[in-house]
């Protein structure tokens, strides 16, 4: 039986890479999925036993984000599963960080995540699930990614707080924390950077987007029914051993 059969799911940042893999996996597992992106073409396709509905939404635009959730409420009546993946990662050492870099990174990685979660929980029935896409960067100090790491630490902190606040409604909140993953974002890195990162991973390779999607599906489904406030690393052991 499909693990998300009959569910209404929203994936913020659900086009390409990890977010796209999560959206497709949720749909293949029976959910009707509303997947947002700043770049995607709007449309609808059948996938497995569910449906995937692409919507063009800039998650950092709170007016557009609110309008999107109002539309989901009108069309579907609720959100059973929320996954928030929208985010950016830009290199800047302490000497190079400026206000624009800081504001842009926090606006997308933290501010958008906060208000997407607030909007979703307003129309989420008891027993819903929330999966926030964090990163092992929340716990390690990677040169040049201090602001990015701080945003992911904020995501981890929010998950703990929201798991506590939403527990009376039996809404579970968890984080999936990828390590280096072979996506278009990582493909843009130099061969030297990729080789350096790979050497730090005990399993000897980067992760795949579908492996992160499998972890997100586990946290979104009843298979993780007694797990909340947790972080599930998908990093090949990079930050674990």
Name the residues annotated as catalytic: 148
8-37 in b/e burial notation, b at 16+ Cβ within 10 A? bbbbbbbbbbbbbbbbbbbbbbbbbbbbbb
Alpha-carbon torsion (236, 29, 221, 58), positive or negative: positive
Tokens 């995501």 found at = 155
Using alpha carbons, select from 185, 199, 203 the residue that is nearest to residue 21. 185
Q: How far apart are CA 145 and CA 118, in angstroms?
A: 27
At residue 221, the 3 state secondary structure works out as coil
- Is residue 148 within 8 Å of 89, Cβ to Cβ? yes
Dist. CA 129–CA 84, nearest whole Å: 11
> Rounded to 5, what percent of the chain is helix, strand, coil?
45, 20, 35
- Strand 172-178 vs strand 32-37: parallel, antiparallel, or unpaired? unpaired
């Amino acid at each position: 039986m499909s693990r998300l059969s009959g569910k209404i799911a929203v994936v913020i940042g659900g086009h390409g890479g990890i977010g796209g893999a999560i959206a497709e996996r949720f749909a293949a597992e029976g959910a009707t999925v509303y997947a947002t992106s700043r770049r995607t073409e709007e449309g609808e396709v059948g996938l497995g036993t569910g449906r995937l509905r692409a919507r063009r939404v800039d998650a950092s635009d709170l007016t557009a984000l609110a309008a999107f959730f109002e539309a989901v409420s009108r069309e579907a009546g609720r959100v059973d599963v929320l996954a928030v993946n929208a985010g950016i990662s830009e290199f800047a050492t302490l000497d190079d960080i400026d206000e624009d870099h800081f504001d842009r990174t926090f606006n997308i990685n933290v501010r958008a995540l906060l208000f997407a979660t607030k909007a979703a929980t307003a129309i989420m029935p008891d027993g819903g699930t929330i999966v926030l896409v964090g990163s092992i960067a929340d716990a390690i100090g990677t040169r040049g990614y201090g602001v990015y790491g701080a945003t992911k630490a904020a995501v981890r902190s929010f998950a703990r707080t929201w798991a506590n606040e939403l527990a009376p409604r039996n809404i579970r909140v968890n984080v999936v924390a990828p390590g280096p993953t072979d996506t278009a974002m990582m493909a843009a890195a130099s061969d030297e950077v990729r080789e350096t990162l790979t050497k730090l991973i005990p399993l000897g390779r980067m992760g795949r987007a579908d492996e992160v999607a499998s972890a997100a599906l586990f946290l979104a489904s009843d298979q993780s029914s007694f797990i909340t406030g947790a972080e599930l690393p998908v990093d090949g052991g990079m930050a674990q051993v």
